Amino acid sequence: MRGRSQQFKDFITFPLRAVLPVQESRWGLTSRPDERFEYVAREISGRVLDIGCGRHNSFINRYALGNGVGVDVFRYDGLADANIVEDMAHLPFPDASFDTVTFIACFNHIPKSERDAEVREAFRVLRRGGKIVVTMGNPLAELAIHRLVHLYDRLLGTKLDMDTERGMHEDEDYFVRDRVIVEHLAAGGFRDIRKHYFITQWGLNHLLTAQRHA
């Protein structure tokens, strides 16, 4: 975890960090993906299921210290057969087998027609008292970042835009408003829904947490 001096440095340099064409921390600055992982890591406990894990199953391997499973519908670099689940509404895990379920920067990529089913499935695999964590950016920031990384990939030959690599489904979005996420979580049986801003990203990114009580 970052110390206070690093957090201060990251806070004052956020406009620069927001536009740098990098995914990894370097030059004494924390990358936005690493920063997002750190904020989520503060909320997790026990065995973690990371839905939409992305390249190299990074959150489970680096921040959950291997205590859990990362799954995705697309075979990104570094993912094995065990990480691929074609239908997230039918997860291959027993009831109540995880303490935390995370949707990190991916809830908007769940097709609208499938969101309720995937949230219910997250509820099913959570133990009683377990927590769900969903990250989401400010709508304008999300649109700007998606367009920027797409531009970098075209002009610089980088591979930042995972959406272009996988392809966007017509029923996906570049962002989901908080009230809609809250509605999905409540409909899925979750309670105690709370929002936590990423201060070192000037509040332009945040996460929502909720609990399974029943």
Closest-CA residue to 180 (of 120, 102, 115, 122): 115
Distance CA 175, CA 156 (A): 25
Q: Is the confidence at residue 2, as pLDDT, over 90? A: yes
- Which pLDDT score is estimated for 187? 97
Which residue type sits at 6? Q
Helix 178-187 × helix 115-125 angle, to 10°: 50
Burial tier of 80 (Cβ tally within 10 Å: 0-12, 13-18, 19+): exposed
- Which pLDDT score is estimated for 161? 78
Residues 33-63 have pLDDT tens digits of 999 999 999 999 999 999 999 999 999 999 9
Residues 67-115 have pLDDT tens digits of 999 999 999 999 999 999 999 999 999 999 999 999 999 999 999 999 9
Closest-CA residue to 7 (of 24, 28, 26, 37): 28
CATH value at residue 82: 3.40.50.150
- Which pLDDT score is estimated for 165? 80
Closest-CA residue to 163 (of 212, 117, 123, 106): 106
- Which pLDDT score is estimated for 121? 98
Distance CA 209, CA 207 (A): 7
Q: Is the confidence at residue 128, as pLDDT, over 90? A: yes
Distance CA 194, CA 182 (A): 9
pTM for the model stands at 0.94
- Which pLDDT score is estimated for 86? 95
Q: Which residue in this structure is represented by tokens 């927590």?
A: 131
Residues 143-184 have pLDDT tens digits of 898 888 888 888 888 887 787 788 777 888 989 999 999 999
Number of domains in the chain: 1
- Which pLDDT score is estimated for 62? 96
Q: Where do the DSSP E strands lie in the chain?
A: 48-51, 68-71, 98-103, 126-137, 191-197, 205-211
Interval 117-132 mean pLDDT:
98
Range of the domain at 86: 4-211
Interval 121-145 mean pLDDT:
96
